[in-house]
Amino acid sequence: MSKFKIIGLSLILLGVGMFLFGASMFSYTGTNLDPVISKLGMYSFFLWLPTIITGVLLMCYKKTVIKK
């Protein structure tokens, strides 16, 4: 497994985790949250899709070697 596939898979898993964390912070109805946690949830909810797209592109990247 190449390092691009490993990094791509890691980014995909990170993106899924970001989506779950952002969605849970978005739907939180308990007591007041720390503002840092609230902002972290907001940014993770907005940035989960670009993270997954970057991971998929890295997994699809193939290094071409030109033989002489």
Token pair, residue 36, equals: 């840092």
pLDDT, tens digit, 9 for 90 and up, residues 58-67: 888 876 656 6
Q: Any idea where the domains of the chain sit in the sequence?
A: 3-60
Confidence of residue 54 (pLDDT cuts 50, 70, 90): very high
In this structure, the dihedral spanned by the alpha carbons of residues 48, 49, 52 and 58, taken in order and rounded to 10 degrees, is: -120
Give the pLDDT confidence of 7-46 residue by residue, as tens digits.
999 999 999 999 999 888 877 777 887 888 888 888 998 9
Transcribe 30-54 into DSSP letters.
Answer: SSPPPHHHHHHHHHHHHHHHHHHHH
